[in-house]
Structure 1
Amino acid sequence: MKLSVFTVATPDLTPEELCEAASAAGIGGIEWRCKDTPAELRKEAPSFWGNNICTLSQHAEEEEISRFEQAANRSGMKTISITPYIQCGDIESTEQVMRLAKRFGASMIRVGVPGYNRTRNYNELYEEAIAYLKVVEQLSRHYGVKALVEAHHVTIAPSASLAHRLVSPFDPDCIGVLYDPGNMVYEGFENYRMGMELLGPYLAHVHVKNAGWQPPRTESSDPLQSQEWSCSWSPIANGQVPWKQVLRDLKAVGYDGWFGVEDFSATFDTRTMLQTYANQMKTWMEEIE
């Protein structure tokens, strides 16, 4: 089993600290969060999507690149992905991140998918995404880096089937899907194994996290009154994703790629989260062997 960590989930560790902690936990791969951090955010406390100090700048220069490379190399870690927040259609940023990925020897990056919020027709957004991915496919061939579409809520690819519809016109050696059951708790749930079977060669990477739906804190006594449930992140073992079953399904379809932790539950401190993740995944795999 190949375990990795997406550094969005380790915001309070420096690159050096992250590599040391991940390696000590038995995690061998790194997915560097890639985003420019505005100066005003750097004054804030570390957070997943704010002042994340384990983030590689999208416009990183040689000194910063060397620092991240050395941090990984000293701990025997492999950089498997440079993972940015690219907007669909932004070819310049896509190529910039692919160049970074090639420099690190990473095999993949994440690319942009249109969001969906009912203000624009899905079919228009789909055509825009296809036009973008046609260029991305060419860049992938040129740089030797696979582009991944993430199954993510509030986008036009929240499920395995809609992600498959988006990538199916393209070469699976160039464009694949980042399968994320935790995101699919929010939106996009389908039978896990059926979705994996549909994705076939496009199933390129898996993110590991969990979430769950909760009723309102104060429930109405009127059974006909609408109640608004809410979804939030959970520890990996305690949410609605039955991870042992998901691992069985991944094994059944022959998946042999990486499993990247992305735990947003804040249940444990970062170092404990990494060790808990590695221990839990190894235990589950032993149980399903």
Structure 2
Amino acid sequence: MKLSIFTVAAPDLTPDELCEAAAAAGIAGLEWRCKETPPELLIEQPSFWGNNQCTISPKAGDEEISRFRQAAIGHNRQSIAVTPYLSCGDIEGTEQVMRLAKRLDASMVRVGVPSYDRSRPYGELFQQATDYLKEVERLALDYGIKALVETHHVTITPSASLAHRLVSPFNPDAIGVLYDPGNMVHEGYENYRMGMELLGPYLAHVHVKNAGWHSASPGETADHLKPVAWNSGWAPIANGVVPWKQVLLDLKAVGYDGWFGVEDFSGTFDTRTMLQTYANQMKIWMEEIQ
């Protein structure tokens, strides 16, 4: 079992503090959040997508890169991925992040896919993404980096089957899928094992988080002729809609032997407790499915 942490979920820790906490929890892999942090955010309290102190800039210079490299090396952790927020079609930005990943000794980079908001037809967006991935495939092979397309809500790849449709023309050594069942609670649910079987060699990485649905008007007396609004939100890993023990069984059944990367956004635990809780829970589940 190879456990990792996507550092978006550790906003209040510096790289060195995160590596220390990961080592204490038995988490070996590091997925570095990669994004510019605007100066105005630096005065805010740490947060997942704001002033995240465990984020490396896509334009990082030697000193910043060394700080992240030495944090991993000093605590005997492995940098496995650089995870940016690339726009589909941004070839220059994609190559920039791949160069950064090489310098951090990481082997995977998340790449961009178009959002879907009903403003442009799916077919047009699919063609845009295909044209982009043709260039990404070339870069991935040149740099020895695997490019990851994530199953993510509000994009053209919310499900395993739609992600597979996009990546299937490409070399699975160059382009794979980051399978995220937590995202698929919001949009894109399919039978887990069926999706994994479909992905086959493109199943490259797994993110571990959870989410659930709740009524937008809890406590209201139900009017069975009136539509009910529902909202989705994050939940602790063991308490959401995703039955993680079953997902792990399905991953085992298809022969998955890659990393499991936590990104718990529930806010239930402080960061260090979240890491230890995650590692303990995964160990229990893995022992139960042997």
TM-score between the two structures when normalised by the length of structure 1: 0.99
Instruction: Report matched runs for 1:1-289 at 5 Å.
Output: 1-215=1-215, 216-289=217-290
Separation in structure 1 between the aligned mates of residue 33 and residue 174 of structure 2, nearest angstrom: 21
For the residue of structure 1 that corresponds to 2:32, the secondary structure is strand
For the residue of structure 1 that corresponds to 2:69, the secondary structure is helix
TM superposition shift of 1:246:
0.1
Extract structure 1 runs of 4+ deviating beyond 4 A: none
Separation in structure 2 between the aligned mates of residue 16 and residue 170 of structure 1, nearest angstrom: 37
Separation in structure 2 between the aligned mates of residue 212 and residue 81 of structure 1, nearest angstrom: 27
* 1:109-148 Cα distance to aligned partner (Å, 9 max, x none): 0000000000100000000000000000000010000000
Separation in structure 2 between the aligned mates of residue 152 and residue 217 of structure 1, nearest angstrom: 27
TM superposition shift of 1:218:
3.7
Gap runs ≥5 in structure 1:
none
Q: Across the two proteins, how many residue pairs are aligned to each other?
A: 289
- Contact 1:32/1:54 (CA < 8 Å) preserved in 2? yes
Separation in structure 2 between the aligned mates of residue 98 and residue 272 of structure 1, nearest angstrom: 32
For the residue of structure 1 that corresponds to 2:204, the secondary structure is strand
* 1:11-35 Cα distance to aligned partner (Å, 9 max, x none): 0000010000001100000000000
Separation in structure 1 between the aligned mates of residue 99 and residue 221 of structure 2, nearest angstrom: 55
Separation in structure 2 between the aligned mates of residue 91 and residue 141 of structure 1, nearest angstrom: 14
Indicate the RMSD between aligned Cα atoms, in angstroms. Answer: 0.6
TM-score between the two structures when normalised by the length of structure 2: 0.99
Separation in structure 2 between the aligned mates of residue 228 and residue 182 of structure 1, nearest angstrom: 21
Separation in structure 2 between the aligned mates of residue 195 and residue 257 of structure 1, nearest angstrom: 16
- Contact 1:219/1:227 (CA < 8 Å) preserved in 2? no
Percent identity between matched residues is: 74
Separation in structure 2 between the aligned mates of residue 2 and residue 278 of structure 1, nearest angstrom: 10
Separation in structure 1 between the aligned mates of residue 219 and residue 263 of structure 2, nearest angstrom: 31
For the residue of structure 2 that corresponds to 1:147, the secondary structure is strand
* 1:190-222 Cα distance to aligned partner (Å, 9 max, x none): 000000000000000000000000113243431
